[in-house]
Structure 1
Amino acid sequence: MSDKPSVLFVCVHNAGRSQMAAGWLRHLAGNTVEVRSAGSAPADAINPVAVEAMREVGVDITGEQPKLLDAGTVEASDVVVTMGCGDACPYHPGTRYEDWQLTDPAGQPIDVVRAVRDDIRNRVERLLTELAGQPE
């Protein structure tokens, strides 16, 4: 077991929003938080526009692959952040849940994806501050 908090980001395809959020949390938290992401219906690859938007701010998410959400991943996470996965996200008692209403970057131009990226960064920073304030 790890003493670090664990965060799971979930969206439908695990190709845009959840990958950007996971990338931001890894970038901002270093190895102080265990970061996971998954999707209820994962895509074959990460959205290339999301990759480009993150690359512009120095965050590389090219090594990631969309992953299928499973109950074990939810159970192993302290915080689950959903981004439009609806009822597909399993519930585990004792796990903190947040739902972030974000525009889906799929099929969107780079300007829209940049705005989503920046919104996600603000939310991740707030989450990181909250996690740092929790007693061990």
Structure 2
Amino acid sequence: MSDIPPKPSVLFVCVHNAGRSQMAAAFLTHLAGDRIEVRSAGSAPAGQVNPAVVQAMNEVGIDLSAETPKILTIEAVQASDVVITMGCGDTCPVFPGKTYLDWKLDDPAGQGVAAVRPIRDDIEQRVRTLIAEIPSQDIPCHGL
């Protein structure tokens, strides 16, 4: 039996998994490395990641060009300690024992890169705060 605690896991969810949740997952992976297991998904995934999002993330040195939107599954929620929704509302399944946060963010869909930059920067700050809160398990539970 190992004394190493299991890695915390975070699932980011938005409708299309083409913008906000992709940026959040990329920032968390980039900033936390392998200390946190990261997933992202959408309730109605798009065919590709928003090109303006890919461009905005490239500007900060993170390449999303190979990412593809993924469908939200019950298994992904069950396997996650923290579920962060970004505009998917009631389509996200809720399970006891999980921490649910809802980040109110503008939707980058249909926006140019200039409109995506402030959303990207807001997400980066939220992810940095999340990283600081996860090790202490001091994550506020706001429910949906």
TM-score in same-fold range (> 0.5): yes
1:130 counterpart residue number: 133
Q: CA deviation at 1:62?
A: 1.7
1:21-62 Cα offsets, whole Å, 9 max, x none, are 000000000010000000000000000100000000001122
Flag as ranges the 4+ runs of structure 1 deviating above 3 A. none
Tell me what 1:117 maps to: 120
Give 1:112 deviation, angstroms: 1.2
Aligned length: 134
State the secondary structure of the residue aligned to 2:134. helix
- Provide the secondary structure at the position in 2 that maps to 1:59: coil
- Taking the aligned partners of 1:56 and 1:92, their CA distance within structure 2 comes to 37
The equivalent of 1:32 in structure 2 is: 35
Deviations 1:87-110 (A, max 9, x none): 100001100000000000011121
Q: Distance in 1 between matches of 2:108 and 2:95?
A: 28
Q: Secondary structure at the match of 1:9?
A: strand
Q: TM-score, normalised by structure 2?
A: 0.90
Structure possessing the higher radius of gyration over alpha carbons? 2
Q: Does 1:59 align with 2:54?
A: no
In the TM superposition, 1:42-57 aligns within 5 A as 42-57=45-60
Q: After TM superposition, list the pairs within 5 Å mapping 1:70-89 onto structure 2.
A: 70-89=73-92
> Aligned residues: percent identity?
62
CA distance in 1, matches of 2:75, 2:25: 18
Equivalent-residue separation in structure 1 for 2:9 and 2:64 (angstroms): 19
Per-residue deviation at 1:132? 2.1
Q: Deviations over 1:94-131 (max 9, x none)?
A: 00000000000011121110000000000000000001
Is 1:41 the counterpart of 2:44 in the alignment?
A: yes
Offset, 1:64: 1.4
Give the gaps of 5 or more residues in structure 1: none
Q: Which moves more between the two structures, 13-22 or 108-117? A: 108-117
